[in-house]
């Protein structure tokens, strides 16, 4: 129902209220010289009570806490192991999807990563929130892997091969025909 001034009935001149927030956090840690582990967490909070499917009142608060831990080989960028956790979820059936995500073992975090994830665990095959988290972990892992491989302890500039592997065609600035790809990714190799 709308009032004459086009504001929802019952809201008056109150200031806007926060409805919900989603936080995604990731950390990448060294397992050994050949392997890194990326840990991701997705948290959803609701800041107002809302009505459930059966007309019940659902109180404001934490709605999701979902975690993923990927062990990835640096040489191949392949997922060697995965563990997921559904801490806070609205339905107990959500936790039954845990093993579903093991089919991501062997996938390479490279071009086509998002498509491969969606083919295996997208839509009705998995959890939309966990799938979103894992997709966002891909680019974060690439950045961390590049940082690790070019860390100051091994003070050599990134190679053209590393630039090709981690940057070329990942965005507009790093497009293959662009300035940076030519400067750092192809001209060094004589291409």
pTM attached to this predicted model: 0.83
* pLDDT at res. 191: 41
Find, among 31, 133, 16, the residue nearest to 74 by Cα.
31
The pLDDT, as a whole number, for residue 164 is: 84
pLDDT score recorded for residue 1: 47
- Shortest CA distance to 168 belongs to which of 190, 136, 146, 144? 146
Q: Give residue for tokens 């997705």.
A: 42
pLDDT band at 189 (very low <50, low <70, confident <90, very high): very low
Burial class (CB in 10 A: 0-12, 13-18, 19+), 8: exposed
Cα distance between residue 12 and residue 145, in whole Å: 52
pLDDT of residue 187: 54
């Amino acid at each position: 129902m709308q009032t004459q001034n086009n504001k929802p009935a019952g809201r008056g001149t109150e200031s806007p209220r926060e409805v919900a927030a989603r936080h995604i956090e990731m950390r990448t840690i060294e397992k050994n010289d050949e392997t890194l582990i990326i840990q991701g967490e997705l948290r959803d909070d609701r800041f107002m009570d809302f009505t459930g499917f059966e007309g019940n009142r659902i109180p404001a608060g934490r709605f999701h806490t979902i975690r993923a831990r990927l062990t990835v080989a640096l040489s191949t960028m392949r997922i060697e192991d995965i563990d997921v956790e559904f801490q806070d979820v609205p339905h107990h059936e959500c936790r039954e999807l845990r093993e579903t995500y093991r089919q991501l073992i062997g996938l390479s975090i490279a071009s086509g990563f998002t498509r491969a994830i969606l083919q295996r665990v997208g839509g009705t095959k998995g959890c939309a929130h966990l799938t979103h988290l894992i997709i966002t972990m891909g680019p974060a892992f690439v950045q961390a892997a590049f940082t690790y491989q070019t860390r100051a302890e091994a003070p050599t500039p990134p190679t053209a091969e590393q630039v090709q592997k981690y940057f070329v065609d990942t965005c507009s600035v790093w497009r293959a025909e662009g300035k940076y790809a030519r400067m750092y990714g192809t001209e060094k190799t004589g291409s």
